[in-house]
Amino acid sequence: MLILGIDTSTDYLALSLLEDNLVKAEYNLSLKRQHSEKLLPLMEELFQTFAIKAQDLDAIAVSIGPGSFTGLRIAITTAKMLGRIFDIPVKGISTLEIMAAGQRADYILTMLDARRARVYYSFYSRKKADFKTDLEKKLNLKELYQASSIKIEQLAELLSAYKGEEILLLGDKTDKAAEILKRENFNVITADPENNYPRSAVLARLGRDYINLGQEDDIYQLKPAYLKKPQAELNWQQKYGG
Amino acid sequence: MTREELKFISSSAEQSIEFAKKIAAYLDPPSLILLKGELGSGKTLMAQGIASALGYEDEVTSPTFNLVQEYRAAQEIIHMDLYRLDKSEELIEIGFEDYLNRDAVILIEWPEIALSLIPADFIFIEIIKKTNDKREIIISGEGKKAERLVERLFKNVNSRD
Amino acid sequence: MNAKRNYKNKEDDIFILALESSCDETAASVNKNGLEVLANVVSSQVELHQKFGGVVPEIASRKHLELLLPVIDEALEKAGLEFRDLDAVAATYGPGLVGGLLVGLTAAKAIALSLEIPLIAVNHIAGHIYANFIDNPQIKKPLICLTISGGHTDLLYFEDLKGYEILGRTRDDAAGEAFDKIARYMGLGYPGGPAIEKAAVEGDPQAIDFPRAVMADNSFDFSFSGLKTAVMNYINNQKQKGKEIDQADLAASFQEAVVDSLSSKLLEAVKKYDIKSVVLSGGVAANKRLREVVEAELKEVEIEFYYPSLELCTDNAAMIGAVAYYQYLDRDFASLAISADPSLKL
């Protein structure tokens, strides 16, 4: 099974090729806002290097964010077209999950910068005892808190039930988050830079696993993860008038 | 907590534009600027002044109908007008949060409906129409960066007068 | 660095899939040899945006992403073709809203790479011009085209359909923009073209003598900012004097000044160049007074006159496919690295 992973959800343009258990190629290029110009040429180069054709692909894994909507639509549009033309399965995967699935730790908090002291986050367990469904058991991953956004300052409150556990922080703003959580006596660790972003090889592997479990997406419905309205935390209305 | 407020009286459109340019000079993007004021108070004029000081040479009009306009200058500028929105849920539809995450100078006219979704760190400009030409412009900053900007602007305005 | 793309010669039939997503219509078409339209599918999002009175960029982009596949499927089905039958894929790459443009352009790139066929990037304004030739393939050449819309005022010369020469363009506001601004100033609403036209019906076009721009260098360029200022000054002066303004006379006089500026330049160009026909394109081409004046003037000099049908006046992909065919013949293909250009000019 030959799987192409495509991710344009963050500053990284990420592209990978996975053949069964073999990572044949993995690009993770930190290219701010150039995804539209670079993605298709990079795919063409990848195909040429391995002397394969687009029609040789068996499946596509694509990141659905959170991230810049304009950026996300580049990879998703590409995945949809490949899926349609070659009639192959496509699976959309959360960027936060890609990060968590790439690391081993019992509890993992993945974050993406949402600016102005906020982060998009998701909280995962990789502890066997926590897994309930077949999917969780097979993927070795359970999402404890669904993706949302929060003020960094409020992370301690969010994770209060896990104060006794070791928590791995991944993604953006980990230093700031570690500082806040340590102040509240949390047991947190951070990752080295090469493990601290959504790796495209992990995306392709997750895609393979989901698709093998029959979890492919309908390409006609596939869209970015447009996050729901976050909690209003501050009542500016009172202060600035409405 | 008391808020630093800077009050400025403008007696003409030209003065308002000049004042907007001063604000622009202190911006350190990404920046979020909220413009409050009744119809015809000159919110778009302030947006024009800021955009032009940031190097955008074309015309700036109020995006009343498309809600969002993007201007490409040396610095990316996003200009919103939320007058036509009824519910804050509609902000999700127009990609409001996504715009807030951009590395840009973001100008928002009629920001009231979005206040509950706006995080810390913004510059709040309220324009009060005194007479046909005269305006009182009140500036305050929310968050350290914005407060510092208001302080510096305060010093600049006072030292020149 | 592009992989070899297989392309055919002119003698063969050439099938092009074209995509258009620059504003609020998601459209796909299949054209055979340029002007023969096998399928022209347009899925309008107008209702979604009506609530706001304008096109909201993010809402439009989301809708394009959702509608593009179904629209492509329908176009291929109507044309009775499969992806593998296509000789090239085309998409609008500007001008327009960048988020929407990127959906169509990225899809076209993915199709080009997948099928190993050429990618053709088309200018939306050129599309509107070529829409004329779909309706009237018999238009005699050489010809002059006047493109007038909210964003453009261009006078173009076509020897054949493979390219064009720009004779003149606006130095400031586009004609449609002038209509919009004055309509807003007069409180007539948006879009300004139809609003002014309606208000002008009962008015006297000679009531107020507004200036017509004269270019010092005798070029075919246009200018509307002087006229715009004159109208605004007129309104302000009347108000200051406490005089009532006759909206109908004002609208008619303004419209006459615009029509006069456009038609006189057009006629000068017609006289200078040895052409057989004149075509109009763009939203302002719908103005009846303009059509009337141009038609009468061209009749005198025995030049054929065309303007597009309403369905091809609005955004569609068939017009993009028509342009793409001539680019195909010229081997004017785009690289997969091409980006959308929201402010693309002709």
Burial class (CB in 10 A: 0-12, 13-18, 19+), C271: exposed
Task: Tell me which chain C residues have a C-beta less than 8 angstroms from the C-beta of A37.
Answer: 337-339
Dihedral through CA C299, CA C302, CA C306, CA C307, nearest 10?
-40
C85 belongs to an annotated ligand binding site: no
Does residue A170 sit in the same domain as residue A132?
yes
Tell me whether residues A237 and B34 touch, CB distance under 8 A: no
Alpha helices (runs of H) in A50-124, residue ranges in sequence order: 69-86, 95-101
Q: How far apart are CA C296 and CA C275, in angstroms?
A: 17
Q: What is the complex's ipTM, to 2 decimals?
A: 0.94
The pLDDT value given to residue B109 = 95
How many distinct structural domains can be found in chain A? 2
Structure tokens belonging to residue A91? 């699976």
C24 belongs to an annotated ligand binding site: no
The count of other CB atoms within 10 Å of the CB of residue A179 is 12
Give the pLDDT band (50/70/90) at residue A228. Answer: low
Does residue A85 sit in the same domain as residue A205?
yes
Does residue A11 sit in the same domain as residue A79?
yes
Structure tokens belonging to residue A228? 């729901």
Q: Which neighbouring-strand residues pair with C166?
A: C156
Range from A195-209, A221-235, C78-92, C273-287 carrying the lowest mean pLDDT = A221-235
B103 pLDDT more than 50: yes
C193 belongs to an annotated ligand binding site: yes
Q: How far apart are CA A39 and CA A59, in angstroms?
A: 17
Structure tokens belonging to residue C293? 């004046």
Give the pLDDT band (50/70/90) at residue B54. Answer: very high
Mutate to test the interface with A, among B2, B101, B138 (most CBs of A within 10 A): B101
| A164 three-state secondary structure | coil
Does residue A70 sit in the same domain as residue A146?
no
Does residue A152 sit in the same domain as residue A111?
yes
Tell me whether residues A228 and B92 touch, CB distance under 8 A: yes
Residue A57 falls within a domain, yes or no?
A: yes
Q: Which neighbouring-strand residues pair with C156?
A: C145, C166
Task: Tell me which chain C residues have a C-beta less than 8 angstroms from the C-beta of A45.
Answer: 1
Q: How far apart are CA C91 and CA B126, in angstroms?
A: 44
Residue A164 falls within a domain, yes or no?
A: yes
Structure tokens belonging to residue A199? 């790796």
Provide the sign of the torsion angle of the four alpha carbons B23, B26, B27, B32, taken in this order.
negative
Interface check for A223 against chain B (CB to CB < 8 A): the answer is no
C197 belongs to an annotated ligand binding site: yes
What residue ranges define each of the domains in chain C, with the CATH number in brackets? Answer: 15-129+313-329 (3.30.420.40), 141-275 (3.30.420.40)
Q: How many CB pairs under 8 A join B and C?
A: 38
Does residue A7 sit in the same domain as residue A90?
yes
Does residue A84 sit in the same domain as residue A110?
no
Residue A185 falls within a domain, yes or no?
A: yes
Residue ranges of C 75-114 with Cβ closer than 8 A to chain A: 83, 98-99, 102-103, 105-107, 109-111, 113-114
Q: Out of C61, C106, C113, whose CB is closest to A54?
A: C113
Structure tokens belonging to residue C208? 């107020």
Q: Which residue of A has its CA nearest to C111?
A: A81
Give the pLDDT band (50/70/90) at residue A240. Answer: confident
Task: Tell me which chain C residues have a C-beta less than 8 angstroms from the C-beta of A55.
Answer: 114
pLDDT digits (tens, 9 = 90+) for A84-137: 999 999 999 999 999 999 999 999 999 999 877 889 999 999 999 999 999 999
Residue in this structure with the two tokens 């492509």, named with its chain if needed: C72
Does residue A6 sit in the same domain as residue A25?
yes
Does residue A8 sit in the same domain as residue A77?
yes
Interface check for B100 against chain A (CB to CB < 8 A): the answer is yes
User: Nearest Cα to C179, choosing from C201, C167, C164, C194?
Assistant: C194
- Structural domain containing residue A160: 104-190
Pairing of strands A90-93, A59-63: parallel
Does residue A23 sit in the same domain as residue A56?
yes
Under a CB-based contact definition with an 8 Å cutoff, are residues A109 and A150 in contact?
no
Q: How many residues does chain C have?
A: 346
Tell me whether residues A236 and B118 touch, CB distance under 8 A: yes
pLDDT digits (tens, 9 = 90+) for B107-161: 999 999 998 888 778 999 999 999 888 999 999 999 888 999 999 988 887 765 4
Q: Out of B70, B84, B99, whose CB is closest to C52?
A: B84
Residue A51 falls within a domain, yes or no?
A: yes
Q: How far apart are CA B57 and CA B75, in angstroms?
A: 12
Tell me whether residues A115 and B92 touch, CB distance under 8 A: no
Mutate to test the interface with A, among C63, C71, C89, C106 (most CBs of A within 10 A): C106
Provide the sign of the torsion angle of the four alpha carbons B103, B105, B109, B114, taken in this order.
positive
The count of other CB atoms within 10 Å of the CB of residue B65 is 17
DSSP state of A121: E
Q: Which chains are adjacent to chain B, needing at least 3 Cβ pairs under 8 Å?
A: A, C
User: Nearest Cα to B2, choosing from B106, B157, B149, B141?
Assistant: B141
Please give the CATH architecture assigned to the domain spanning B5-160.
3-Layer(aba) Sandwich (3.40)
pLDDT digits (tens, 9 = 90+) for C143-159: 999 999 877 789 999 99
Q: How far apart are CA A25 and CA B1, in angstroms?
A: 55
Under a CB-based contact definition with an 8 Å cutoff, are residues C103 and A77 in contact?
yes
Q: Out of B88, B102, B119, whose CB is closest to A118?
A: B119
Per-residue pLDDT of chain C (346 residues; tens, 9 = 90+): 344 456 777 678 999 999 999 988 999 999 999 999 999 999 988 777 777 767 889 999 999 999 999 999 999 999 999 999 999 999 999 988 999 999 999 999 999 999 999 999 999 989 988 988 998 888 999 999 999 987 778 999 999 877 789 999 988 888 888 898 888 788 887 678 888 999 999 999 999 999 988 777 778 999 998 898 899 889 989 988 999 999 999 999 999 999 999 999 999 999 999 999 999 988 888 899 999 999 999 999 999 999 887 777 778 999 999 999 999 999 999 999 999 998 888 7
**HEC profile of chain C:** CCCCCCCCCCCCCCEEEEEECCCCEEEEEEEECCCEEEEEEEEECHHHHHCCCCCCHHHHHHHHHHHHHHHHHHHHHHHCCCHHHCCEEEEEEECCCHHHHHHHHHHHHHHHHHHCCCEEEEEHHHHHHHHHHHHCCCCCCCEEEEEECCCCEEEEEECCCCCCEEEEEECCCCHHHHHHHHHHHCCCCCCHHHHHHHHHCCCCCCCCCCCCCCCCCCCCCECCHHHHHHHHHHHHHHHHCCCCCCHHHHHHHHHHHHHHHHHHHHHHHHHHCCCCEEEEECHHHHCHHHHHHHHHHHHHCCCEEECCCHHHHCCCCHHHHHHHHHHHHCCCCECCCCCCCCCCCC
CATH number at residue A46: 3.30.420.40
Interface check for A131 against chain C (CB to CB < 8 A): the answer is no
Interface check for A41 against chain C (CB to CB < 8 A): the answer is yes
- Domain definitions of chain B by residue range: 5-160
Structure tokens belonging to residue B12? 């003409």
